[in-house]
Amino acid sequence: MKNTSEIASRTWIVFALMAFIALAIFVRIIWIQTVDANKWSEFVKAKQEEIKDIEPTRGQIFSTDGSLLATSVPVYNLYWDSQANIDDEEFNRELDTLCINLSNYFGDRTPSEYQRDLLEAKRLEKKYYLVKRKINHLDKEHLKTLPFIRRGKYKSGFIFERRDIRKKPFGKLASRTIGIDRLGARVGIELAFNEDLAGKPGKQLMERIAGSVWKPTTDEYIVNPVDGVDLVSTIDVHLQDVATTALEKQLKKHYADWGTVILMEVETGYVRAISNLERDEESGEYYETYNFAIGEATEPGSTFKLASMISMFDEGLISLEDSVNIGNGTVEFYGEEMSDSHEYDSDNTKLTVREVFAQSSNVGTALLVQKHFESDPQRYLDKLGEMGLRSPLEIKLKGEPSPMIYEKVREGNWSGLSLTQMSIGYEVLQTPLQTLAFYNAIANDGKMVRPLFVEALKKNGKTLESFKPVVIKDKICSNSTLRACQDIMEASCKEEYKGTASEIFKNSPYHVAGKTGTAKIAHSRGYYRDRYRASFVGYFPAENPRYACLVLVNDTKTGSYYGSTISAPVFRDVANKIYATQLEMQELIDLPELVGEHKIPVSKNGAKEDLEKVFAELKINTQINTQEDWVKTSTKETLVEINTHDLRKGLVPDVRGMGLQDAIYLLENCGLNVKISGHGTVKRQSVTPGARLSDHRTILIELS
């Protein structure tokens, strides 16, 4: 009994202690909710509010001709704060209309579903209920006019939260060079000039709604965001389109793995077009996925022969008319066979230095370099260094690797074959842009300039900073060497020297200086037997260079792989378009000779006053035989006769031989509905001239 009594006593003591603790907790809760309510409310509020960064609007990227290449487009998420200062009576009265409008506009939910969701958000007292994602600006402006929402965010609770997304209006044109604006993965111009484009973030007090969701407490900023500056790139959209189209056409034709084309102004180094296209294995389409022009260092092959020639010309070791015996176009160096791409009729073939380069003779180039540098190969390596070929271009865009060219004999993988292999573009690595900059120096009187992708930074239409041409090296070789190089590059495009690119450019109205290149593609243990990289690099017009261009196509699948048949046609297409559209590149034709050769040009019929002005401006003699407003013309040996055009009231006029503007004026004034086909001068009309107007309402005129 004693033990039972002790247990009972202890139990009551524990119970009393627990009851006391519970009472103390209860009293403390009451105390917090009443006496300390304001203090803790302020504490909680402070924990739910923070000053957050507000992202500014990112600057836009323009082409040199003012076209928009990249811009920030605002999109909005629509939220509803059910705890805003909402009049419940007005909300209930307009809810049906609001839900019908939302359903009709978005079409993603029925009116009853919208009503159910909004009422549920209100029941749960949600302060940041998501109504719709990714609304564009026009949608946002329309939604702000809908019943209830038009009361404003403080009375309706509807909030439009803005964020910017980056858009490229021209799609894949220069897409990789313009770059990507994605946090942690920016590339191209977007990365290189991110600090300028990004602007400076602002500060705004925001409150936590739920989890990591924050909303502004007011519309006011603590610190206003500073929008980014606009950037004017060197890209010309017209030329970019031409280059991309020409490259893509050739890549598709030969099922190539990837390709790049770069077009650069000779004097300034401004890159006017740059396209990098890679084949998607699943779709077979080509996309800009990687900037091969800047980031892909490969063995250049025959285009490197120019450097070999410079090393010999500059040391006074060869002249243009010196010759080398290449036998039948095959030779062995240290047990390894080297051969030319085409066969020769004789086993005792001799080529001049000019012909060696023009015909891209591997054997001829290697024999010349071996003859003059075998006893001192370091001299050859030093000459390559003097030309600036070991140094990166240090362009503003990220991702450029340094060229790989031996500095010292016997370093790395140097062997007895290295000298002759390097002479024809193997055992060296260059990016396409580095190769182009080197060739551009030949066009630019020996001055090597840095390729530039941005011309200026602007804010509100005012130029903040301009980027002028930057000279990397004042002279890559002597003047005499420069002239010799220009000569052999032109010879590559001429039939008289059997140049490898002569067939492509034989009918061009301008002269080209350049070099074809064909290189085997390497793997870890050597080279693939039937996989090649084709290139062409040069400048035009050869007499007064304006543009330098490089085209490289990697790994074709049609069995055609030479630079002359794969890459040179792309170069030609780009050059043709530039020549056709930039009149300052074309020779001026003497007008008197033109008139003398073709006599008087054929003229159109039409309004007498307009025709007289044209003839007077062109200083063409006229014989006017009428005072009527509408005339017919007749071209004679030395003048143009102007005669009456017989127009009778109520009859269909004869508009044949007229321009479109005059023809429409006459026909519509007669009450006819005019339909048009073609362009130019009226060739025929569907209603016979002189027919009664009352019988016809519509007339078709064909232009030619």
Nearest partner of 243 among 572, 500, 555, judged by Cα:
572
Residue ranges and CATH numbers for the domains of the chain are 52-199+213-233 (3.90.1310.10), 241-585 (3.40.710.10), 592-703 (no CATH)
Give yes or no for a contact between 125 and 174, defined as CB atoms under 8 angstroms apart: no
Helices and strands (H, E) in the chain, number of each type? 24, 29
pLDDT band at 243 (very low <50, low <70, confident <90, very high): very high
> Does 302 have pLDDT greater than 70?
yes
Which tokens in the block code for residue 97?
């209309």
Residue type, 69: L
Structure tokens at 655: 């508009």
Q: Is 408 left (phi over 0), alpha (psi -120 to 50) or beta?
A: beta
Does residue 27 register a pLDDT over 80?
Answer: no
Tell me how far CA of residue 609 lies from CA of 628, 633, 662, in angstroms.
10, 13, 12
The β-bridge partners of 677 are 702
| Cis ω for the linkage preceding 541 (within 30 of 0) | yes
Residue 612 CA to residue 620 CA, distance in Å, equals 10
Beta strands in 284-322 (DSSP E): 286-287
Whether 144 shows a pLDDT value over 80: the answer reads: yes
Render pLDDT for 169-178 as a digit per residue (tens, 0 to 9): 888 888 889 9
Average pLDDT over residues 600-604: 73
pLDDT of 184 reads 62
**Quick one: pLDDT band at residue 265, thresholds 50, 70, 90?**
very high
Residues 6+ apart with CB under 8 A from 136: 73, 74, 75, 76
Q: Tell me how far apart the alpha carbons of residues 510 and 587 are, in angstroms, rounded to a whole number.
A: 10
* pLDDT higher at 57 or 415: 415
| Environment class of 280 (CB within 10 Å of its CB; exposed 0-12, middle 13-18, buried 19+) | exposed
- Average pLDDT (422-447) is 97
Beta-strand (E) ranges in 16-128? 49-54, 61-62, 68-80
209 close to 43: Cβ distance less than 8 angstroms: no
The pLDDT of residue 270: 98
Q: Return the pLDDT at 3.
A: 62
pLDDT at position 597: 47
Q: Which two tokens stand for residue 266?
A: 């000779």
Question: What are the structure tokens assigned to 129, written together?
Answer: 């209920």
196 vs 8, more confident: 196
Token pair 């997304």: residue = 165
Among the listed residues 475, 467, 420, 415, the one whose alpha carbon sits nearest the alpha carbon of residue 442: 475
339: tokens are 């051969």
**Nearest by Cα to 308 from 443, 403, 419:** 419
- Residues 532-540: what's their mean pLDDT? 97
User: Cα–Cα distance between 250 and 258 in angstroms, integer?
Assistant: 10
Q: Summarize pLDDT for 81-104 with one digit per residue, the tens.
A: 888 888 989 999 999 999 999 999
Specify the pLDDT at position 662: 79
Q: Which amino acid is at 530?
A: D
Query: What's the rounded mean pLDDT across residues 547-553?
Result: 98
Q: Centre a 10 Å sphere on the Cβ of residue 30 and count the other Cβ atoms it contains.
A: 10
Cα-to-chain-centroid distance, residue 581: 20
Mean pLDDT on 457-484: 95
pTM for the model stands at 0.74
Q: Do residues 552 and 432 make contact, with C-beta atoms less than 8 angstroms apart?
A: yes
Residue by residue, DSSP assigns 484-536 as HHHHHHHHTT-GGGT-TTHHHHTT-SS--EEEEEEEEEEETTEEEEEEEEEEE
Q: Which residues contact 333 (CB under 8 A, 6 or more apart)?
A: 366, 370, 416, 417, 420
So what's the pLDDT on residue 39?
59
**Least confident stretch, 211-215, 315-319, 384-388, 638-642:** 211-215
662 or 354, greater pLDDT: 354
Q: Are 59 and 197 in contact (CB under 8 A)?
A: yes
According to the model, what pLDDT value does residue 385 have? 96
Q: How far apart (Å, rounded) are the C-alpha atoms in residues 290 and 180?
A: 11
Q: CB within 8 A of 131, min separation 6: which ones?
A: 78, 79, 80, 102, 158
Query: What is the helix (H) or strand (E) element at residue 231, kind and residue range?
Result: strand 230-233
C-alpha 369/C-alpha 357 separation (Å) is: 13
**Residue 569 reports pLDDT greater than 90:** yes
Per-residue DSSP letters for 408-446? STTSTT--TTHHHHHHTT-S-BB-HHHHHHHHHHHHTTT
Q: What is the pLDDT of residues 477-509, one digit of tens each?
A: 999 999 999 999 999 999 999 999 999 999 888
Q: What is the rounded CA–CA span in Å between residue 587 and residue 251? A: 33
Provide, rounded to the nearest whole percent, the portion of the chain with pLDDT above 90: 55
* pLDDT(599) > 70: no
Quickly list DSSP for 570-592: HHHHHHHHHHHH-GGGSPPPPHH
**The dihedral of CA 15, 21, 24, 25: what is its sign?**
negative
Q: Which two tokens stand for residue 630?
A: 């509408």
| Cα dihedral 596, 599, 601, 605 sign | positive
- Give the C-alpha separation, 326 to 371, whole Å: 13
Per-residue model confidence as pLDDT tens digits over 570-586: 999 999 999 988 867 76
Q: What is the residue-averaged pLDDT of the chain?
A: 88
Q: What angle do CA 378, 379, 385 make, to 5 degrees?
A: 90
Q: Give CA–CA dist 36/347, Å, rounded.
A: 108
Q: Tens of pLDDT along 650-672?
A: 788 888 888 877 787 778 777 78
Asked whether the predicted pLDDT for residue 185 surpasses 80, the reply is: no
* Strands 129-136 and 68-80, sheet pairing: antiparallel
The DSSP string of 585-626 is GSPPPPHHHHHHHH-SPP--BEEHHHHHHHHHHTT--EEE--
Q: Where are the beta strands (DSSP E) in 297-354?
A: 323-327, 330-333, 336-339, 349-352
Query: 3-state DSSP call for residue 700?
Result: strand
Q: Do the strands 640-644 and 622-624 form a parallel or antiparallel pair, or are they unpaired? A: parallel
Low-confidence winner among 132-141, 248-257, 422-431, 685-694 (lowest mean pLDDT): 685-694
pLDDT of residue 37: 61
The answer to whether 368 touches 318, Cβ cutoff 8 Å, is: yes
**Closest among 264, 557, 277 to 434, alpha carbons compared:** 264
Per the DSSP assignment, residues forming a β-bridge with 73 are 165
In terms of pLDDT, which residue wins out, 104 or 39? 104
What are the distances in angstroms from CA 545 to CA 57, 303, 505, 520, 550?
Answer: 41, 19, 16, 31, 14
pLDDT in tens, 583-594: 677 654 444 444
Which residues make Cβ contacts (< 8 Å) with residue 623, sequence separation at least 6? 636, 639, 640, 641, 642
Q: How buried is 559 (Cβ within 10 angstroms: 0-12 exposed, 13-18 middle, 19+ buried)? A: exposed
CA 681 to chain centre: 38
Beta bridge partners of 633: 642
3-state secondary structure of 675: strand
